[in-house]
Structures are given as C-alpha cells and as structure tokens.
Structure 1
C-alpha cells in the first residue's frame, strides 16, 4: 500500500501572474493498493476508484474519465504499460475546494503522475515527474509548487504543437475524449526533458496564509477569457517592478508589512477578474496593514475566487472583515489558516492492512 500526499497551491501571489506559486498545507491524499491475485479486467483498465471529500457527488469514478487516473494512465502508456496493474484500487481523499483558485486540478495532475510512477514501478525522479505533469497541466506555478513544495518561481518552455496533438494526452482545461475505451495501442507523446524550470525562494517563518474561500466556483478558462490579449508597457513595468521585490521581501524576518503590501499589487489579472468576483476590488483596496494589524499583503489566489491574505496574526479579524464584505454580495465563505508545505508531494509505502 502506498500513500501519496499532494499539497494544494496558490498561484500568482499578486503581480506574479503565471510565474510564482506557493504550496500550502491542505493535502490531496491518494491511497493505492494492488492485489495481484485479482482477476484482470481490461474493461476497467484493472483499476477501481473510490473518492471521499469535496464534491464527492460530482466526481467521475471511471478511471477512463477521472483526471487523476487518466494522468496516471498517460504516464504508464508512455512506458509501454497499457493498463494499471491487475487489482489496482485507488482511494482519493480530497479536502481541496474545486474551482476556487487553490490548485485542485494541479494537485490531481501531480497526484496522477505520482500514481503512474508507483503503479508502473518506474522510479522516475521529481524533475522527470515535472515534465510529465507539465504535459497535462500547463500551469507550472501550481504544478511545481505542488510537486516540490514551498514558494517557487517557474517558467515553461515553448512546445511544438505537434507534441500536444494526440488524444492520449489528457489536457487539464480542455479534455479530449477519455484516454481509456478502445485502446489505440499508440504511445502518447513522451515529454521532452526539461519542459519547465523552477526555483525555490525563501519564506519567512512568521508568515502564514489565510485563505478566504467563497462558496462559488470560477473556472480557469472563464477567468482567462476576461483578460486582455495585450497590455500597456506601463502596466507590465508596474508588475515587473513589484515582482522583482516580492520574491525577496517575503523572506525577510521580521516581515516588512508596508513593503510586502506594496509589492503584492497587480495590474495584469486582478482588475479584470473583478468582474467575476463580486466585492473583489473593494476587498483588495480596503483590507490593508494600516486597517488590520498583522496583515502583510492580500491578493486573489490563482484564478479565484479565493482571497489569500498573508499575515503574521489577527487571522480571525481579517477573515471576518473579508467574509462580511462577501456577505453583502450574498456570498458565504469558509476560511482556513495554512502554512507553506515545504516538502511538496510525498509518497510513502506502508504495510498492507
């Protein structure tokens, strides 16, 4: 039996659109057992799936359709293994809210890549696992943070469009036909080495992440549709200047609230996504270090609608203010205090019970 744990993640962190990500201490758990004395069942890819946690009533348990098992199958087929090992059972427990900007799809993809690595006995190292994850999930900020842990900066190399043309590669945002069903026998596009690059930054031990999670979803695709196709030089310079400071000031101990708050300002994605998230502009402008003791900075988490407030304390009061503002829009929320998940994805083999 193996237990795979994958942290959720928050991307962008203000000015770092599609660049920086932070792994946080809410974990997708995958429990894997393989009973080799079971009978083969090619119709189910030799795999059964159980799911508990967020959105259980809506999760597809067919291993041909589920994003996590489809990703694992992609990894297996790249290594000439057409199905899961006979008797594979996957129990997924997911506390990460879906469609809320906390990297739920990135965690599923990283978990799927690790699942394929375990089931196929492939012994792939993390750099190679990152290549496979990036063939499925095109957001290196979420994926690298979830896989490696901590606070990371990333970029993704350009890929030949032909590498993405075959249906066996399950894209996270626009899924093609299921990877199972009638087996084509083809080997999917195998990732080149070094698709993406990342660097971990230091993070001050005093800083925690307060996540305010509204009770509605914003799809990544919709959140990208509202963004302009081009930006002014002025706005790009605004973000680049702040990003250059942000990756350093978040490591300062004690943290400098004024500098962090200023460095987390953004003109690239948050102003445009405010049309999808009622109250966002007011929250980002009114919740400041001067109005709330302990607050360092505030931003949209990923594509939203979750609000991420970096703070050293006073979490209850900060959360209550933001929740009250959402309540004016008829939106209820939950909130959690999270810490950086420094270890990233882990996989532990345990004795069968």
Structure 2
C-alpha cells in the first residue's frame, strides 16, 4: 500500500439542552471533516512532526497550521504518544474542512477534540481502541461530556463522569497542557503524557422523535466558554435546582414521543441554572427564549440556548423559516446580524477509508 487515505467526519453538537446543563447533548447534522493522506513510500518529511495541515472553513484566517498548536493534531499527538508513537507517520497530510462556527455554542471545540482522538487512532493504527476508550481520551482534554459524547456517539445523549480520585471530584477540566507539553515549534520534548484512566465517563442514548428538527439561529459574535462559565454562581438556590431536576426527568421522554406533545416539551425545556445568568453576555436572551410558545407560534416545541451560546436552538416540527425569522428579528433590534440553519440529529463520528 503506497498511499493511505481516509476521511473522519464528526458532527457539531448542542449541549445543555433545556435543563440538561453539562449533562445532555445532541449531535447535529453539520460536520467537521478531516481528509487525511499518508504517503507510505516516503521515509523522511520536511514538515514538523511529519504532518502538514491545510484548512478551509470557519476561522480560516486564525486557525494555527502547526501540528503542535492546532487543536485537532495536538489531540491526535496525545493519543499517539500515549502509545509510544512520538509523531505522525511520515508525510501525513491533514486537510480540515470546518463549517461549524467557532465560539458559537455548536460544539466546535468538542468536534475538534473527538476528530483529533480519532485521527490519532487511525494514523497510529490503534484499531484496538474501542469507542468507550476513545471517550476516555476525549475527556482527558475536555471534561464536558455532553458535547464530546454527542460528537463521538451521535444522537441525543445523556452523559456523566465517574469520580476517579478524591481530588479529581473538584476538577472540571484537565487542561491540554497537562497531557501534552506546550507547543514548542515542532520539537519533541520527549515527555510521556499521562494515559487516561479507564471509564472516565459514560453515556446513554435517548430516543428522539423523527418529527422534531432543530432550528439553529447563529448570531455573528462569539461567546467564549470560559467567559460563559464565569457568570455562573458557585451556589444555587434549592428551588432552582429542584426546578431543573423536575424538567430533566421529563425531557428525554418528551422528545422521544411520537407525535410530539408541544406543551410538554415546552415545559420540559425550561431552565434556571445557566440561561438566566448568561443573558448578560447575549443581548435579549431572556426575551428571545420567552417570546414564543407553542400556542403563539405554530410548529414550535421549545427554545433554549445552545451550549454556552450565543446560538439559539429552537426545536420544531414545521414553520421552520417563520420561527427563525421571528428570533432573528429580536436580535436585529439589538443590532446583531444572524444566520440560521435547519439541522437534525446526526450519527456519531465516522471514518471512511480508501486505498491507492
């Protein structure tokens, strides 16, 4: 085999669906693609870490193309080095096609992490790595299992983390710098990264009614996840926690019923744990979420913030364009331009191989 080529296709995702803060994720039919070619006839490479990166799509002017700085390839290197492979195979070319808006609450970083883990598996010939083990690698880098769980496994998923050690319970994330040395211009430091413990996180797939689609309204500004977490309180009122627990018990059942019950879904999608606090970052958020109900807007089931925002996700059965136009009009009054996409639940990360 002279040349090996394969495509990794990873979906976008929406986290925190309704009351499911840091728990529930939905894979969406918008895909990050890695088109990978490895020339097995070559024995040396002029590229750092044997890898050339090219990129097209959202953030094209800003995404780094050094393999030890780009998130996708840096994650892949983590997987490779945990298996005693210090770099990519000689003459690896990774062409990234990314239509997922960066920093908009549609899981762009989660998709990059999942695609990177899969790249490490495929480039390194690590075919013994099962999906559950790949999930461990993802969670060493991004400890928000709802996004990476949806992107890896697909569909509508509930996720949870296992406490590994007493000191780990309080930790929310393990920075990438802890599992890989800081970028060093392509120079291998020789450091051995810590391999993930077994069974960091788990997931379960919930049913989803085929009648339900997702209308994603995407404002033209970014909200950093770290900034969106800073506005959240350290302690919540018991009544607000109970409010969310009641609704999260309803939501997976409500979204799996056919035909959907609009009033039940609308009730089940309400939240008091993150959306009220993030309205300071997203002008008009509360008004937008509360401005429409199934009784005032045909086809609507419920509205919520997608991830950390600013994207708004409206679940609906029809009248998609009308719903999008009404929400966009609210942003327009704030001087914010938007685009929108009609999406549906997607399968998880897929790999397609070809040989030449």
Q: Which residue of 2 aligns with 1:10?
A: 14
1:192 is matched with which residue: 197, 200, 224? Answer: 197
Number of positions where the alignment pairs a residue of Structure 1 with one of Structure 2: 346
SS of 1:16's equivalent? coil
* Offset of residue 42 of structure 1: 7.5
Give unpaired runs (5+ residues) of structure 2: none
**CA separation of 1:351/1:314 partners in 2, compared to 1, >3 Å: closer, same or farther?**
same
SS of 1:200's equivalent? strand
Does structure 1 residue 235 correspond to structure 2 residue 240? yes
- Kindly report the root-mean-square deviation, in angstroms, between the aligned alpha carbons of the 2 structures: 1.6
SS of 1:329's equivalent? coil
Does structure 1 residue 169 correspond to structure 2 residue 173? no
Q: Which residue of 1 aligns with 2:213?
A: 208
Conserved 8 A contact 2:17-2:307 = yes
Spell out the pairing of 1:152-163 with structure 2 (5 A cutoff).
152-160=157-165
For residues 219 and 166 of structure 1, what CA distance do their matches in structure 2 show? 17
Conserved 8 A contact 2:11-2:111 = yes
Conserved 8 A contact 2:141-2:176 = no
Does structure 1 residue 81 correspond to structure 2 residue 91? no
* Offset of residue 29 of structure 1: 0.4
Deviations 1:176-215 (A, max 9, x none): 7227644232321101111001100000010000000000
Does structure 1 residue 98 correspond to structure 2 residue 98? no
For residues 168 and 269 of structure 1, what CA distance do their matches in structure 2 show? 28
For residues 29 and 14 of structure 1, what CA distance do their matches in structure 2 show? 28
1:272 is matched with which residue: 272, 277, 281? Answer: 277
Q: Which residue of 2 aligns with 1:178?
A: 183
Conserved 8 A contact 1:208-1:339 = yes
Q: Which residue of 2 aligns with 1:65?
A: 69
Q: Which residue of 2 aligns with 1:304?
A: 309
Conserved 8 A contact 1:323-1:333 = yes
2:256 is matched with which residue: 244, 251, 258? Answer: 251
Q: Which residue of 2 aligns with 1:295?
A: 300
| TM-score, normalisation: structure 2 | 0.94
SS of 2:8's equivalent? strand
Q: Which residue of 2 aligns with 1:108?
A: 112
2:59 is matched with which residue: 55, 58, 65? Answer: 55
Does structure 1 residue 224 correspond to structure 2 residue 239? no
